Amino acid sequence: MTSTNRYATSWESFWSTSTGAPGEIFWDADPSHAAQQDLALFRSSMDPQLQLIDLGCGNGTQTRFLADHFAKVIGTEISPAAVEIARTKHAAPNASYRVLDVLSPDDAQALHEETGDANVYMRAVLHQLSPADHVTAIQSIERLLGRRGVLYLVELSSAAEPFFAQLITQYGPPPGLARVFQHQITPGMVNENDLGVLFPSDRFTLLRTGPSHIQTVHTLPTGDVAKVPAFYAILRRRQS
Ligand SMILES: C[S@@+](CC[C@H](N)C(=O)[O-])C[C@H]1O[C@@H](n2cnc3c(N)ncnc32)[C@H](O)[C@@H]1O
């Protein structure tokens, strides 16, 4: 099985068996605790005339929120089941959803021919790919951005691994996370120290980066919601 098929199979299995029960999707935070905090960081860096692509949009929770703030938003996913959920549960007149494998730069190019240069929002997707696939994913992103688009990326940071280790030791594995592993999804790792290698300065300009967190739906015995340490980065293609 090619690595791309591995993602397609495991994520389709994950999304096609989701029931919509509260707490089931570990990262599916209310946008007021997710995309809204992101928007405050990236809004002023993006040309609002361009379309916004939510790459690896899952069930569209954050995409739907972003559609309130951009003229046109496209949520893209490897999983047709996720696209179907997004279309049903997170519809908006200016939001559309479609299947796109971020590991297919040719498909990204075809989308770019439709949309023109686009802004890209990407929350908690890159670390789901194995490190060997990062270069290809970034080629796709580059094609979607073109010369004028801006990428906002929010990803787990180097503090995430010790955070999960501590969480599991203290309270046991969160059910939402256990469900991910049940579908043979094996998250990789990416962190803030990889930015320069992933987005080399001869191709990309880093506009801003800093610490952040990924809000989850997992409530701890303390009553707090687990927030996974993360970092954000705002990048564009280098203008030569
Ligand atoms: C942790 S979830 C984040 C979903 C969404 N960005 C959010 O914040 O709610 C990762 C998503 O990446 C999608 N994904 C995994 N591999 C992909 C690929 N090769 N191309 C496109 N999407 C992919 C999965 O289906 C999943 O919905």
User: In CATH, what number is assigned to the domain containing residue 22?
Assistant: 3.40.50.150
- Using pLDDT thresholds of 50, 70 and 90, give the confidence band for residue 1: very low
Residue nearest atom 11 of ligand 1, based on CA coordinates: 56
Q: What confidence tens digit (pLDDT) does each residue in 177-223 have?
A: 989 989 989 888 899 999 999 999 999 999 999 999 999 999 999 99
Give me the residues paired with residue 124 across strands: none
Cβ–ligand 1 contact at 58 (below 6 Å): yes
Query: How many C-beta atoms surround the C-beta of residue 11 within 10 A?
Result: 23
Task: Tell me the pLDDT of the chain averaged across its residues.
Answer: 95
Q: What confidence tens digit (pLDDT) does each residue in 10-45 have?
A: 999 999 999 988 889 999 999 998 899 999 999 999
Q: Closest Cα partner for 35 from 124, 140, 150?
A: 124
Cβ–ligand 1 contact at 102 (below 6 Å): yes
Q: What confidence tens digit (pLDDT) does each residue in 85-115 have?
A: 999 999 999 999 999 999 999 999 999 999 9
Contacts of 41 (CB under 8 A, 6+ apart): 152, 208, 210, 212, 232, 234
CA of 237 to the centre of ligand 1 (A): 23
Residue 117, classed as helix, strand or coil, is coil
- Using pLDDT thresholds of 50, 70 and 90, give the confidence band for residue 2: low
Contacts of 191 (CB under 8 A, 6+ apart): 155, 156, 157, 158, 160, 231
Give me the residues paired with residue 235 across strands: 151, 206
Here the tokens at position 30 are: 């209310």
Contacts of 170 (CB under 8 A, 6+ apart): none
Q: Which pairing describes strands 118-123 and 150-156: parallel, antiparallel, or unpaired? A: parallel
Residue corresponding to tokens 């938003």: 73
Number of domains in the chain: 1
The atom of ligand 1 lying closest to the CA of 14 is 25
Cβ–ligand 1 contact at 152 (below 6 Å): no
| Domain, as residue range, for 148 | 3-237
Here the tokens at position 34 are: 């997710």
Instruction: Report pTM.
Output: 0.97
Query: How many C-beta atoms surround the C-beta of residue 191 within 10 A?
Result: 17
